[in-house]
Structure 1
Amino acid sequence: CWTSKDDAEGLVACGVVFHPSMQLEAPFGGDVEALLKGVQCPMLIAPAGNDVPMWAEDGAFGQALKASRRGAEVIFKEYPEMKHGWTVRGDLADAAVARDVEDAMAEATAFLAKYLK
């Protein structure tokens, strides 16, 4: 799903992450919170309602990411009615999914336009 290694190394201008996940960092000896504290670029994080609570703005990963900011913006936009993966595999025939996918894409477009000039 998502890695922040390139972000932490300063190789990325900004990032948008829908339904975040870092399941493979810890099993390979990594420290997710330490990795997130190293992220240097502005980020838009958009967790789904069933994503692990650590990804909420006040969760452990959310707080670690906010601690990394070094002056860079971090925005959390939660989608409580959605399930993990909704932006790429959600049922667009479902009005709530279609609404939130449209909103998420608009949020991402505006965020990226702000930083990718």
Structure 2
Amino acid sequence: MSCCPVTAEPARNPSDHTGVMKKAGNTNIYVTGPASAKAGVIAYPDIYGLDTMACAGAHGWVPRRLHRTDPVVMGHVSFHPAWIVENVLNGDGAVDKLAERVKVPQLLIAAGDDPDFIKPDGSLFKILKSRVDIGSKSDVLLFADEKHGWVHRGDLDNAATKTAVMKAWHTAVKFIQTNCPV
């Protein structure tokens, strides 16, 4: 079972890497960047599909941190918004309940084939924007011509996709700099 739509971008050939594999508890993690960094970005792709539970720990760890009033996580960017997992695991309406509980600003970067509730004017957008605590710092951007997974797996030989990927990353960097100052 996959949480991605059937129209999602396919996997691409791997590229060279610059980091190293380490252990954090029982979890293998890939780390890159200077050891002296004061902050970091956590990425947790479930590349093997929801039914493998490869990211089961992350699916539990991140929401628990997003609910804290003094979170170690200060903002959340989703290039590959798979909030549908909440409904798959916890039933219809669970997505909206999660949006009501998160405590940190959200930036969701949606593709044209993502579920309507993720898109601007969808239920997630409306709930997040209505929040007094995080609404002004949260946003949902739609790239209607792109397919789910395009930021990570899009065809960068396609000029429009490459431009969209760069815009998504620039928007994410600005969001992180604003919401997660070091």
Shorter-normalised TM range:
0.7 to 0.9
Which residue does 1:43 correspond to in 2?
106
Inter-partner Cα distance in structure 1 for 2:78 and 2:88: 21
| Unmatched segments (≥5 aa) in structure 2 | 1-44, 47-58
Which residue does 1:99 correspond to in 2?
163
TM-score, normalised by the number of residues in structure 2? 0.57
Which residue does 1:16 correspond to in 2?
77
Counterparts in 2 of 1:62 and 1:109: CA distance versus 1, 3 Å: same
May I ask how many residue pairs the two structures share in their alignment?
A: 117
Q: What displacement does 1:69 show?
A: 4.7
SS in 1 for 2:84: coil
**Which of the pair is proportionally richer in helix?**
1
Higher relative contact order (CA 8 A, sep 6+): 1
Q: Give 1:1-117 correspondences, 5 Å limit.
A: 5=63, 6-10=65-69, 11=71, 12-29=73-90, 31-72=94-135, 73-117=137-181
SS in 2 for 1:40: coil
TM-score, normalised by the number of residues in structure 1? 0.85
Deviations 1:2-42 (A, max 9, x none): 95613123432011111311233233335221111111111
CA RMSD of aligned residues (A): 2.1
Inter-partner Cα distance in structure 2 for 1:64 and 1:97: 29
Runs of 4+ with deviation above 3 angstroms: 1-4
% identical aligned pairs: 28
